[in-house]
């Protein structure tokens, strides 16, 4: 029969062996975790992808070295604050990004995914796609930790923006088209843009130019008109070919009197422009939105009505121009 001391010794030995085995297992797990992490870092190096771990309760974010490298920063110097609370986010994207994060944390949306611009170390804005998921919650099921990835999508985004820009351009005049006008008028229909003026223009004699002198002459007339409109507008004004022989201009922070002065300058420039074989002439109408109570559609309609009124008033003078054009056409034949 084994003595009590022997039993104690055997039990102690068994516990020691078990503890040693447990320690060995822990060492192995930690080693494997270290190597997995190391392999992950090597895989991410140069991949333009970064991993972030946001502790909501502490207000701190741990980012791997690839995240900082993606933007050209040193890991040690990079911020550990939530990116939405830094000046690295483009000012235009900041409100949207913060709203998306707040909505996700509050449980109002099922997923977090946003595209936004970050300031790189070179001073250039880089587009990133960020995705995150909640990985832990408190007793009240409020998120306490979110883990995610951020991917540099600058090249893809630039290509998308170029394609979008092309889709908004008129191929003849290089002005923006009707789709762009519809987009911008929605963006500008706000208090900060008031007074918001709209000018609608109708190019005279385009059909005559096309029918009599060919579409090359018609295209030249359109291009001349586009150049005159742009030269008499500011950089922030939106000049578009509305369709066919019509043009539309959006002038933010412009009174009706100022818009009418723009119309007069356009008419004067048209009269001074030597267009061969057709004289450049544009009928113009303007209207202004001064209050958010006004419908922007009504303002556009009013500008169009004024344009047609001016076109009717100009018909007497058009008769002489029609005769001159007819004589030019005869000489061409």
Helix (DSSP H) and strand (DSSP E) numbers for the chain: 10, 9
Domains of the chain, start order? 46-159 (3.30.450.20), 169-332 (3.30.70.270)
Q: Per this entry, what is the length of the chain? A: 333
Q: What is the pLDDT of residues 291-327, one digit of tens each?
A: 999 999 999 999 999 999 888 776 555 545 545 544 5
Q: What is the pLDDT of residues 20-58, one digit of tens each?
A: 454 455 545 455 544 444 554 544 455 578 889 999 999
List of residues 6+ apart from 52 with CB closer than 8 A: 61, 62, 63, 64, 67, 83, 132, 147, 148, 149, 150
| Cα-trace Rg, the chain | 34
Question: Left, alpha or beta for 59 (phi > 0: left; psi -120 to 50: alpha)?
Answer: left
Q: What is the pLDDT of residues 220-242, one digit of tens each?
A: 999 999 999 999 999 999 999 99
Looking at the chain, the whole-number percentage of residues with pLDDT higher than 70 is: 79
Which pLDDT belongs to residue 127? 95
3-state class of 132 per DSSP? strand
Alpha-carbon distances, residue 239 vs 39, 96, 108, 200, 254 (angstroms): 54, 28, 40, 10, 14
Which pLDDT belongs to residue 33? 45
pTM: 0.64
Which pLDDT belongs to residue 139? 92
Mean confidence (pLDDT) of the chain: 84
Which pLDDT belongs to residue 197? 98
Looking at the chain, the whole-number percentage of residues with pLDDT higher than 90 is: 62
Which pLDDT belongs to residue 22? 47
Which pLDDT belongs to residue 135? 92
Which pLDDT belongs to residue 221? 93
Which pLDDT belongs to residue 210? 87
Which range among 3-7, 205-209, 296-300 shows the weakest confidence by mean pLDDT? 3-7
Which pLDDT belongs to residue 3? 52
Which range among 58-72, 74-88, 256-270, 317-331 shows the weakest confidence by mean pLDDT? 317-331
Which pLDDT belongs to residue 284? 96
């Amino acid at each position: 029969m084994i003595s009590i001391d022997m039993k104690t010794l055997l039990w102690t030995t068994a516990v020691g062996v078990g503890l040693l085995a447990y320690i060995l297992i822990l060492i192995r797990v930690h080693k494997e975790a270290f190597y997995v992490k190391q392999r992950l870092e090597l895989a991410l190096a140069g991949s333009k992808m970064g991993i972030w771990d946001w502790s909501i309760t502490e207000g701190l974010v741990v980012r791997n070295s690839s995240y900082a490298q993606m933007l050209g920063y040193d890991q040690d110097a990079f911020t550990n604050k939530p990116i939405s609370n830094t000046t690295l986010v483009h000012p235009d994207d900041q409100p949207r990004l913060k709203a998306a994060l707040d909505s996700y944390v509050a449980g109002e949306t099922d997923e977090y995914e946003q595209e936004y611009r970050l300031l790189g170390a070179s001073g250039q804005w880089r587009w990133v796609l960020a995705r995150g998921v909640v990985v832990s919650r408190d007793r009240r099921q409020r998120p306490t930790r979110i883990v995610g990835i951020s991917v540099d999508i600058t090249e893809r985004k630039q290509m998308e923006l170029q394609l979008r820009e092309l889709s908004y351009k008129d191929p003849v005049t290089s002005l923006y088209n009707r789709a762009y006008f519809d987009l911008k008028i929605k963006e500008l229909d706000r208090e900060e843009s008031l007074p918001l003026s709209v000018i609608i223009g109708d190019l005279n004699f385009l059909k005559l130019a096309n029918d009599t002198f060919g579409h090359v002459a018609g295209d030249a007339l359109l291009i001349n008109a586009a150049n005159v409109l742009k030269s008499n507008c500011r950089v922030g004004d939106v000049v578009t070919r509305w369709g066919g022989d019509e043009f539309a201009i959006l002038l933010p922070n412009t009174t009706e009197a100022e818009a009418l002065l723009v119309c007069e300058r356009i008419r004067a420039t048209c009269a001074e422009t030597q267009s061969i074989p057709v004289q450049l002439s544009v009928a113009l109408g303007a209207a202004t939105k001064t209050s958010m109570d006004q419908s922007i559609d009504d303002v556009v309609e009013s500008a169009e009505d004024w344009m047609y009124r001016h076109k009717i008033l100009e018909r007497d003078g058009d008769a002489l121009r029609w005769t001159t054009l007819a004589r030019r056409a005869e000489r061409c034949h």
